Amino acid sequence: GPDAGGSGFMNRAIASVLQTAGLPVARGGGSHLVSALATIINAQGGDCRTGAEVERVLVSGGHASGVRLVDGHTVTAGRAVLCNVTPPQLYDHLLADCAVPPAALAEGHRYRFGRAGMQIHYALSSPPRWDGDDRLSRTPVVHLTPGLDGVSRAVNEADRGLLPHTATIVCGQP
């Protein structure tokens, strides 16, 4: 948040990256990025499926050997099983029937979630129109907030595990 020592540096770093490379967004939405990554993995001999819910990670000889899908199909792993889930989902659900080393299980249960964010991408027929200040239409990233104190308050609330009373909304635009 704004009260953190490195936050001023991060603003400059992010601004530099945005100025240099822009703000890339997958044409057609984030699902197209997922499809492209799956295509790359499958082209290299992997087996990446989208929209297939995993019921269990299968373990053989102390190593992940594949997954069982909720529809009953089994996918066998050649080298690795990659999961994009939280530690509780992995250890308490996907590996629930496995002998997970106690140290790994304890580490997973000690995991604490950080602050979260949510991103929504809109495909608009025209750029956003801002009332009150025409400079906003030329600004790549607009922060909708009650001010710096409001951002600080929201970060403080989130750090304490609370849903901020007033959210900070960040609008990136072309």
Indicate if 147 and 168 belong to the same structural domain. Answer: yes
Residue 46 lies in a domain: no
Indicate if 139 and 98 belong to the same structural domain. Answer: no
Residue 130 lies in a domain: yes
pLDDT in tens, 21-70: 776 777 777 788 889 999 999 999 888 888 899 999 999 998 999 999 99
Residue 121 lies in a domain: yes
Residue 32 lies in a domain: no
Of 16, 36, 17, 18, the C-alpha closest to 26 is 36
Alpha carbon distance 136, 139 (integer Å): 5
Domain containing 127 equals 115-174
Indicate if 125 and 168 belong to the same structural domain. Answer: yes
pLDDT in tens, 77-116: 988 898 889 999 999 999 998 888 899 999 999 998 877 7
Residue 123 lies in a domain: yes
